[in-house]
Amino acid sequence: MSEEKRTPPAPRWTFPKREGSGDKTWARLGDEWRALDGVIEGHRIYVKWTYTDDGRSHLSGLHLSDVPITADLLRAIQVGRLENAGQNMANAMLDFLNDLIPLRREKGEDPDAFADRVAKYYKMFSGISSKPAKMISETSGVPLATVHGWIREARLRGKLPPGKRGKAG
């Protein structure tokens, strides 16, 4: 019998959750960055993708910290796989958005409960767009000014942090 040489499987990459992670590097980089474990054994890397209007992703940032950067290390990072991971995330998000229930204020709904829903939608959309209010407006079929009012109310109720001019989040 002949023995076939098998290529070892690629290491499993995982996207840790941001909430409660206590990751100071991630906090410093900002919300548009994602942490990724498993790319470099024993180290976490941070990646950022830019998304085009047609839903395509492009790797636009790679951050390594607390690891000696060598030519061998950089060659070992599978950039194509990182690009695909961004595209897979974009496709999953687009599928999710297509099934998303439009955001609307229901008569008699508790204002805090609605502000919670607005904050959840805003956080979801700000992860894939620099214009989350516009995306909420388009997917929900409500005027952009209305969405801006909802976001303002959510901020006033403490469901979202204070806004920063020119930056979603």
More confident position, 149 or 3: 149
Coil, strand or helix: which one is 3?
coil
Average pLDDT, the chain: 82
Is the pLDDT at 1 greater than 60? The verdict is: no
Half-sphere exposure of 101 (CA within 13 A, CB side): 6
Whole-model pTM: value is 0.53
Cα dist from 92 to 28, 55, 77, 87, whole Å: 27, 11, 23, 9
pLDDT band at 169 (very low <50, low <70, confident <90, very high): low
pLDDT band at 123 (very low <50, low <70, confident <90, very high): confident
Is the pLDDT at 167 greater than 60? The verdict is: no
The 34-40 sheet, strands edge to edge? 34-40, 43-51, 57-64
- List CB contacts of 102: < 8 A, sequence separation 6 or more: 139, 140, 141, 142
Q: What is the pLDDT of residues 31-80, one digit of tens each?
A: 788 888 888 888 889 998 887 766 677 888 999 988 889 999 998 888 88
